[in-house]
Amino acid sequence: MTTKTKSKVTHTYDFKDVDTVIGVIVSDGQKLQQKIHNLGVCIFKHWHDNPGDQAVQGVVVEKINSLVLASGYHKSAVGAWVQLMSPLKFSEETKAFYAHVDDKMMGKAFMSLRDKPFWECKKPAEVKSINLLDDLLKDIEKAKKRLSAPKDGVEDDIDGELLRAVVTAVEAAKARKEATAH
């Protein structure tokens, strides 16, 4: 069954097919990872095969930036792979990779990049549980510390009245938690 909405099409599978479709997603995900890696290697190989050609270097940088942006969920890992395995540098100012004129992609560096896929350079982030009370306690301590020792050049926005109200609520929650733990 397919339902059309303003911005997307949602397909509902038969429940009996869910395990099969999950298997397809696993397979498709692995294929996508491999395709991204193969494409990155292809781009760097073009640079490797045309050493010293500044026009090629410029095209390679452009294509690698495009690949990173197109990598969706894998963007962070692909970016880490480029930073770790290639001579390209990342500019915080432009939020893109660049190369120095004398940078080259040569033999061992290329083989290392080819043989180490991006998903081995940076593992996906793990899902962590939230402990709201602990997180609030850390934030309260951080705010109190900043109030007593402000950082030069940093303009914090810490509402004292709000902080007192949060401290009161957190202390009450902490007391409830301790009472139920015993």
Secondary structure of the chain: what % helix, strand, coil (to 5)?
Answer: 65, 5, 30
Output 112 or 10, whichever has higher pLDDT. Answer: 112
Which pLDDT score is estimated for 120? Answer: 94
Please choose, from the candidates 90, 89, 87, the residue with its C-alpha nearest in 3D space to the C-alpha of residue 110.
87
Q: Please list, in sequence order, all residues whose beta carbon lies within 8 angstroms of the beta carbon of residue 118, skipping any fewer than 6 positions away.
A: 33, 36, 37, 40, 74, 77, 78, 80, 81
The CA-atom distances, in angstroms, between 122 and each of 46, 61, 114 are 24, 21, 15
Q: What is the mean pLDDT of residues 126-152?
A: 89
pLDDT beyond 70 at 5: no
CB 59 within 8 A of CB 70: no
pTM check: above 0.75 = no
Residue 58 token pair? 């410029």
The reported pLDDT for the residue numbered 124 is 78
Return the pLDDT at 156: 85
Mean pLDDT of the region 80-88? 96
pLDDT band per the 50, 70, 90 thresholds, residue 76: very high
Residue scoring higher pLDDT (52 or 99): 99
pLDDT surpasses 70 at 63? yes
Rounded mean pLDDT, 58-68: 97
Do 78 and 36 touch, CB atoms closer than 8 A? yes
Using DSSP's 3-state secondary structure scheme, residue 111 falls into helix
